[in-house]
């Protein structure tokens, strides 16, 4: 089998901003490689660490949407491949497919890697019926829970019949390939037949039921380095497995693109999708309205659709300021494959109508280029490039610039560039044990301060979350009592959990803001104390050593706040719940208990998992920073190693340092 990834017929317009970003990162990477070649072992090791950070930088764009919204077709058009990813994935499949474009951190010899669900995940799905089964059980809908569980068992038996004794053996493992093609992807992502021969036509979808993640490494000329496009399954599945997978994907991403259909208003499922991403910062979210080729008159209908969409978003206080783009994956794919003649007549009429909006600009273009522009993909590329370059890209540039500046400063100090005579130090002017103790003291005191601040922040978050949960329960029960007083149990009632989500999200955002502020303070204090050591121990003039404090970790969005809970379930479920009520007091107690059970997992994930993980990451950043300065200070105090002379590659070091300072100033500007 050979790779089916081809060179796109149309240049990937709109992504130039990412190329500019990588040019700046590459400049600093080249400087690090040069420094590693002329500096000592310690500096070379630090340079290699920073180079690894650059190479692993891969901002991820996650595409989410309902099944049949045209999401996968849009992803294919974005990578210039007309049919690489299957666009007819069966609703049972729960595969997240990550496309790593021109990756610098691709595992050697690997172009495709597929990971399977582990046994614990399958056992949980079977025993509970998945998230939907758990919701049904907590709400008291035992018959629904059993029905969902039966469906899971049927799916498992189909998978076991298809894979035989390999079923249990494959769980928790992965498959790796040194090539990528459509047949291979179909085998792991698309649902296929059950009894077909492995090497025959029925090979399609052989492993789809147990595949959890698909990683494809694509080398695409003209596309930027280090960009990941993640195609998620549609979230409207029976067991809500995809919802959790999508939430995890969003948490790891720096930009989310919600794909909607132009030919229908925002549905309940669309609003559920937007609820999932409501926790994401507005600059990390884009809405792409696909399938405008199915509109009769896009030129007049699209402004109306956008107005209606924005009105609905404002009404639900979701993604109010998000950019909304319009386009057609069909037009893009036809342009890529140069098959415009096969475009259905209604779609051609819609394209001509949409062309009238920008007629002066596009009439001079070829039909292929015109279709590509009208598809909206170039606009989507441009928005993605801008959001990444000005968001995570800018943050990475600052972080690498500061670490590179600290590395250059350490080399200058170690080589006497700041007026230090290392030969004098070697005669015993510096008490190395005392210096080591001073550095340890700085580490211990700053870590203690950071740990105390983190503990206080996490505890405060936990208190705010519980307070929000209690307040919402009280309000809901009060509203329920009023309803029962007025109507009894003869009229169904439901309470919108949007207020609870808003309070939980606000509590987490407050934690993130407070944590970033205190972490910056501690990082700054550690930096000043280390600079003071250079001044006090080595008698360097104040201001000669200017260290840059490290950058705090980026907090992930509180995606668990957006997951479906029992209060979101459809009216049919609640009618059954309502029919089970007999008295007001038990009804209120039962409803309050349901809210607590449903939201306890959210509270635990926020204050028990995500918040401590962020604090731990910041602690590790501080430790790494102090360790790097400990190496410089102790090396300086111990004097030059045996055989080292001041002339040892001095000119090469000087040239490398001067060139690096120029690059640092350029990036800063």
Instruction: For residue 224, give the 3-state DSSP assignment.
Output: coil
DSSP 399-449: HHHHHHHHHHHHHHHHTTTTS--HHHIIIIIS-HHHHHHHHHHHHHHHHHH
Length of the chain, please? 669
Both tokens of residue 1?
Answer: 């089998």
Tens of pLDDT, residues 49-63: 999 999 999 999 999
667 located within any domain: no
Give 142-182 as a DSSP string. Answer: HHHHHHHHHHHHHHHHHHHHHHTTHHHHHTT-EEEES---H
Question: Which stretch of 35-44, 186-195, 533-542, 586-595 has the lowest confidence by average pLDDT?
Answer: 186-195
What mean pLDDT value characterizes the chain?
82
Side-chain-side CA neighbours of 649 within 13 Å: the count stands at 14
**CB atoms inside a 10 Å sphere around CB 56:** 11
Per-residue confidence (pLDDT) for residue 136, from 0 to 100: 53
What would the pLDDT profile of 361-375 be if each residue is shown by its tens digit? 666 678 888 999 999
Q: For the segment 502-523, what is each residue's pLDDT rounded down to a tens digit? A: 899 899 999 999 999 999 999 9
Structural domain count of the chain: 1
Contacts of 29 (CB under 8 A, 6+ apart): 51, 54, 55
Any residues with CB less than 8 A from the CB of 429 and at least 6 apart, and which? none
Q: How far is the CA of 381 from the CAs of 10, 216, 223, 367, 491, in angstroms?
A: 13, 20, 11, 20, 50
- Asked whether residue 27 is assigned to any structural domain, the reply reads no
- Residues 287, 384: contact at Cβ < 8 Å? no
Within-domain flag for 414: no
Query: Which candidate, 223, 248, 246, 221, places its Cα nearest to that of 236?
Result: 246
Strands (DSSP E) contained in 232-299 are: 255-261, 285-290
Q: Is the per-residue pLDDT at 124 higher than 70?
A: no
Per-residue pLDDT tens over the stretch 153-165: 777 777 788 788 8
| Residue matched to tokens 């130090």 | 425
Q: Domain range holding 606?
A: 421-638
The stretches of 556-583 forming alpha helices (DSSP H) are: 571-579
Measure the CA dihedral 317/323/328/332, to 10°: -150
Residue 422 C-alpha from the chain's centroid: 47
Residue 29 lies inside a defined structural domain of this protein: no
Longest dimension (CA), the chain: 93
Decide if pLDDT at 112 tops 80. yes
Backbone angles phi, psi at 303, to 5 degrees: -60, -35
> Which tokens is 85 given?
């990813």
Higher local confidence (pLDDT), 6 or 148: 6
User: How far is Cα 665 from Cα 28, in angstroms, rounded to an integer?
Assistant: 11
Q: Is the pTM of this model over 0.95?
A: no
Res. 92: pLDDT tops 50: no
User: Helix axis angle, 71-78 relative to 329-337, nearest 10°?
Assistant: 40
For residue 285, tell me if it sits in a domain: no
Distance CA 295, CA 297 (A): 6
| Lowest-confidence segment of 210-219, 356-365, 570-579, 629-638 by average pLDDT | 570-579
Q: Is the model's pLDDT at 104 over the cut of 80? A: yes
Give the DSSP letter string of 338-378.
T-GGGS-HHHHHHHHHHHGGGHHHHTTS-HHHHHHHHTSHH
In a domain, 538, yes or no: yes
Which of the given ranges, 187-196, 216-225, 636-645, has the highest pLDDT on average?
216-225
Cα–Cα dist 632/530, whole Å: 11
How far is it, in rounded angstroms, from Cα 133 to Cα 88? 26
Share of the chain above pLDDT 70, in %: 79
Q: Which residue has the higher pLDDT, 122 or 259?
A: 259
Residue 118 lies in a domain: no
Q: pLDDT, tens digit, for every residue of 275-296?
A: 767 666 667 889 999 999 999 9
Residues 545-595 pLDDT 10s:
889 999 999 998 888 887 777 777 655 555 566 556 555 556 777 778 878
Q: Is residue 549 part of a domain?
A: yes
CB burial of residue 199 (10 Å; 0-12, 13-18, 19+): exposed
- What 3-state class would DSSP assign to 121? helix
pLDDT bucket at 418, cuts 50 / 70 / 90 = low
The separation between CA 45 and the C-alpha centre of its own chain, rounded to angstroms, equals 29
């Amino acid at each position: 089998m050979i790779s089916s990834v081809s060179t796109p017929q149309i240049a990937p317009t709109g992504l130039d901003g990412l190329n500019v970003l990588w040019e700046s990162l590459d400049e600093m990477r080249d400087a690090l490689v040069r420094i590693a070649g002329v500096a000592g072992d310690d500096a070379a090791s630090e340079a290699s660490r920073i180079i690894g950070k650059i190479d692993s930088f891969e901002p991820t764009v996650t595409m989410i949407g309902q099944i049949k919204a045209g999401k996968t077709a849009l992803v294919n058009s974005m990578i210039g491949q007309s049919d690489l990813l299957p666009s007819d994935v069966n609703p049972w499949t729960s595969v997240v497919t990550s496309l790593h474009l021109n990756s610098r951190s691709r595992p050697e010899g690997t172009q495709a890697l597929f990971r399977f669900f582990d046994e614990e995940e399958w056992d949980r799905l079977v025993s509970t019926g998945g998230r939907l089964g758990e919701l049904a059980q907590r709400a008291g809908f035992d018959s629904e829970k059993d029905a969902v569980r039966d469906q899971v068992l049927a799916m498992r038996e189909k998978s076991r019949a298809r894979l035989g004794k390999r079923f249990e053996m494959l769980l928790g493992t992965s498959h790796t390939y040194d090539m990528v093609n459509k047949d291979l992807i179909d085998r792991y992502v698309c649902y296929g037949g059950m009894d077909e021969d492995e090497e025959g036509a029925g090979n399609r979808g052989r492993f789809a039921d147990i595949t959890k993640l698909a990683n494809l490494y694509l080398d695409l000329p003209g596309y930027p380095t280090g960009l990941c496009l993640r195609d998620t399954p549609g979230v409207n599945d029976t067991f809500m497995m995809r919802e959790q997978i999508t939430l995890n994907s969003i948490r790891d991403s720096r930009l989310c693109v919600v794909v909607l259909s132009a030919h229908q208003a925002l549905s309940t499922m669309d609003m559920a999708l937007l609820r999932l991403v409501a926790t994401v910062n507005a600059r990390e979210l884009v809405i792409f309205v696909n399938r405008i080729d199915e509109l009769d008159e896009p030129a007049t209908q699209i402004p109306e659709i956008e107005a209606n969409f924005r009105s609905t978003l404002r009404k639900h206080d979701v993604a109010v300021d998000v950019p909304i783009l319009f386009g057609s994956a069909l037009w893009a794919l036809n342009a890529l494959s140069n098959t415009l003649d096969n475009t259905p007549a209604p779609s051609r009429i819609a394209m001509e109508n949409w062309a009238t909006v920008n007629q002066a600009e596009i009439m001079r273009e070829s039909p292929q280029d015109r279709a590509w522009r009208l598809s909206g993909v170039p606009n989507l590329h441009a928005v993605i490039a801008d959001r990444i370059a000005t968001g995570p890209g800018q943050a990475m540039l600052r972080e690498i610039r500061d670490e590179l500046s600290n590395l250059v400063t350490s080399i200058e100090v170690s080589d006497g560039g700041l007026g230090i005579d290392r030969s004098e130090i070697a005669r015993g002017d510096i008490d190395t044990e005392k210096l080591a103790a001073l550095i340890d003291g700085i580490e211990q005191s700053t870590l203690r301060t950071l740990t105390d601040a983190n503990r206080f922040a996490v505890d405060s978050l936990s208190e705010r979350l519980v307070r929000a949960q209690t307040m919402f329960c009280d309000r809901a029960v009060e509203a329920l009592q009023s309803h029962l007083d007025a109507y009894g149990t003869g009229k169904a009632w439901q309470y919108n959990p949007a207020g609870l989500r808003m309070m939980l999200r606000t509590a987490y955002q407050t934690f993130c803001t407070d944590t970033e502020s205190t972490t910056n303070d501690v990082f700054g204090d550690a930096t000043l104390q280390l600079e003071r050591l250079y001044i006090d121990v080595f008698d360097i003039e104040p201001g000669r050593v200017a260290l840059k404090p490290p950058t705090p970790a980026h907090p992930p969005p509180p995606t668990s706040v957006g997951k479906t809970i029992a209060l979101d379930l459809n009216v049919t479920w609640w009618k059954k719940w309502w029919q089970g009520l007999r008295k007001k007091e038990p009804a209120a107690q039962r409803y309050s208990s349901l809210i607590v059970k449903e939201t306890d997992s959210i509270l635990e994930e926020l204050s028990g998992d995500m918040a401590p993980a962020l604090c731990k990451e910041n602690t590790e950043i501080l430790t790494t920073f102090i360790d790097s300065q400990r190496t410089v200070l102790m090396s300086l105090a111990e004097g030059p190693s045996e055989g080292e002379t001041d002339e040892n590659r001095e000119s090469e070091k000087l040239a490398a340092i001067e060139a690096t300072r120029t690059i640092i100033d350029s990036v800063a500007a």
